[in-house]
Amino acid sequence: MYATTSAARSAASAYRDNAVATASPARLLVMLVERLVLDVERGLTAQQAADWPAAHRHLLHAQDIVNELETSLDVDAMPAGRQLAAIYSFLRGQLVDANIRRDSATTGQALSLARQIADTWRQAAMAAAQ
């Protein structure tokens, strides 16, 4: 028989939980920045539809992710650690500004930067795996 909607959601949640629990640190980082991109995309879409509560929720979650990236970054452990910290700080500021001003142009700029960060971390994870 077909799974109920709640059973399907429960199975999807269990799958995601397992994927996170078994992922390498590099894969976890990639998953995190991919979620960052998704949140900013959803925030932008909501802003364009003037759905301010949804835009706020997605952009706040994106800010939370950037905060996590900032706090977990050991700036002395990598050659460009301080520069990366500055990029994260700039992105967080853009997300806050885009959310407060309800400015889709600023959200679009933040999305571009988030995509670049995600692409960079994907490439780094692939290089480390080889």
**pLDDT, tens digit, for every residue of 67-113?**
999 999 999 988 899 999 999 999 999 999 999 999 999 999 999 99
Residue 10: inside a domain, yes or no? no
Band of pLDDT at residue 4, cut at 50, 70 and 90 = low
Residue 104: inside a domain, yes or no? yes
Identify the CATH number of the domain in which residue 103 sits. 1.20.120.340
Q: Tell me, what's the pLDDT at 1?
A: 46
Number of Cβ within 10 Å of residue 26's Cβ equals 16
Q: State which residues form the domain around 59.
A: 24-129
Condensed to tens digits (0 to 9), the pLDDT of residues 7-65 reads 666 655 554 554 555 568 889 999 999 999 999 999 999 999 999 999 999 999 999 99
Q: Tell me, what's the pLDDT at 79?
A: 87
State CA 25 to chain mean position distance: 16
- Rounded Cα–Cα distance for residues 34 and 21 (Å): 17
Condensed to tens digits (0 to 9), the pLDDT of residues 109-129 reads 999 999 999 999 999 999 988
Q: E strands along the chain, which residues?
A: none
In terms of Cβ atoms closer than 10 Å to its own Cβ (0-12, 13-18, 19+), residue 84 is middle
41-44 own/partner pairs: CB under 8 Å, 24+ apart: 41/111, 43/98, 43/99, 43/107, 44/104, 44/107, 44/108, 44/111
The pair phi, psi for residue 102, each rounded to 5°, is 55, 45
Q: Tell me, what's the pLDDT at 15?
A: 47
Q: Tell me, what's the pLDDT at 128?
A: 86
Q: What is the number of structural domains in the chain? A: 1
Residue 58: inside a domain, yes or no? yes
Residue 76: inside a domain, yes or no? yes
Q: Tell me, what's the pLDDT at 43?
A: 98
- Rounded Cα–Cα distance for residues 3 and 91 (Å): 41
- Model confidence, pTM: 0.82
Residue 100: inside a domain, yes or no? yes
